[in-house]
Chains A and B, each alone.
Chain A
């Protein structure tokens, strides 16, 4: 079994961000079209929140760990 790495965590979070958009669009009564502070809920999520969160997830979880320093003999 593959070990769960920080990269896997990041990839799962990115998938969740994408899934969130689809779920928001599927809410009943056009909930995603409700306006909040000038933008629709869907636009706040798909245009602002999810992309910004995606960038933060990439910075926090997608980077490879720095190489281990060489050990002195």
Chain B
């Protein structure tokens, strides 16, 4: 059972677990596609006929070839840890604690599991803790709302508009704008009065006739400013702001119907996501490994993935229903680790349920970090998996990831980057293995795939794209993986 729980823990990192409800909240159809691919793609990859196990380390070219997947997966694991530690920092900041506290807590806990021998094989236990701690608040919220998931979905999908509830912290005490880091612009749909309880500087872009102007107000404590429809609040300032109750949430879909409908055809974007997750899963779950699933094992993996998707759907629906302010400035992963519905529970029950959610997130992270280390160690059969247990190496990895996490980035984008890069380097050779004794061809194909991936990923960072190249720039694995597969095909043809 250890290997199947490792599969689940490697795949369902906290970032991946929260990406589905975040996408479902932002746009129903896109979120469903993400959730469905996250659920089915690992099963497809595990169902592929068993590949050859990792080649033993030998001299010369064979040694270099067997080092390639180790280096790629080591970097991938580092980036995945980075993404999840970034999320921990974001959650800490969202809940009002200093960002560094979330980062240090998760990084130190993750590293301790590496250093302390008895705690190294705890992934199944940690997964169980995460499951119980995530399901308990969901059941409590469902019970308190008094609606089943289908009735709650219907209620969300028929909302005329998403408005600030009177009990929202954005309305009662106000929150700092610095915590808003989604991608949606803070554009107001109606006249809205903002109050700065502690004073501060508010910046907004306003449309004056046809002229766009940026205006700055220095507000005294308790002073308000009124924005009109079409005005845009500039995010990033540290000022704490209170919004008006029952006004539309800036950045939210126009209505429940608009949220529920399928957007105009986005075939290539959906294909890009599918290819990224497919090759990423091949690299992460199968490269260099032979996994034999018993019927119980297959059921355990499939059941775990299904349960995670069901949780994601229900959590997203109840969060949108009870806390429409989730949409303010765009849905981000960290907000989904806050218990929805400020008025649903009294203290100290609310605090206890919030603690459950945080425990679930931390347990899922620790399970993933243990499983990722075991995964890497499994690539080193001759060294007895030493690479997965080296405290110095892992201290460097966790330390580097923690330092990098001080710089806020989008954790899901980082995860897609890690999966896409690893997938382009290792995925084609895993899905389409070259003949025995041609490990060099797999390395060449991986390098070509990685270079193509990196080229398009760099274009993504520079904001390049356009209608034709947009999906390839948005999902660089869409071109990187076929490039690697082409090299494999040409190499096979030459031998043939």
Interfacial residues, chain A to chain B (CB-CB below 8 A): 2, 5, 7-8, 10-11, 14-15, 17-18, 21-22, 25-26, 30, 32-33, 35, 37-40, 42-43, 46-47, 50-52, 54-59, 61-64, 66
B153, A59: Cβ atoms closer than 8 Å:
no
B35, A46: Cβ atoms closer than 8 Å:
yes
- Nearest B residue to A24 by beta-carbon distance? B262
A54, B153: Cβ atoms closer than 8 Å:
no
A63, B298: Cβ atoms closer than 8 Å:
yes
User: What is the total of A-B residue contacts with beta carbons within 8 Å?
Assistant: 122
Interfacial residues, chain B to chain A (CB-CB below 8 A): 28-29, 32-33, 35-37, 39-40, 43-44, 46-49, 150-151, 153-154, 157, 260-262, 265, 267, 270, 274, 292-295, 297-299, 301-303, 305-306, 309-310, 313
- Nearest B residue to A10 by beta-carbon distance? B47
A63, B293: Cβ atoms closer than 8 Å:
yes
Q: Is the interface of A mostly helix, strand, loop or mixed?
A: helix
B28, A14: Cβ atoms closer than 8 Å:
no
One of B37, B40, B43, B265 near A26 (C-beta < 8 A):
B265
Which of chain A's residues have a CB closer than 8 A to the CB of B150? 37-39
A50, B40: Cβ atoms closer than 8 Å:
yes
- Nearest B residue to A8 by beta-carbon distance? B49
Q: 10 pairs across A/B with beta carbons < 8 Å? A: A15-B44, A33-B261, A37-B150, A46-B33, A54-B306, A56-B302, A59-B295, A62-B43, A62-B302, A64-B293
Q: Is the interface of B mostly helix, strand, loop or mixed?
A: helix
Which of chain B's residues have a CB closer than 8 A to the CB of A5? 49
Contacts A47-B313, A51-B39 hold; do A58 and B47 have CB atoms under 8 A apart?
Answer: yes
One of A8, A25, A58 near B29 (C-beta < 8 A):
A25
One of A7, A18, A30 near B261 (C-beta < 8 A):
A30
Which of chain A's residues have a CB closer than 8 A to the CB of B310? 51
A55, B265: Cβ atoms closer than 8 Å:
no
Which of chain A's residues have a CB closer than 8 A to the CB of B265? 25-26
B262, A25: Cβ atoms closer than 8 Å:
yes
A55, B305: Cβ atoms closer than 8 Å:
yes
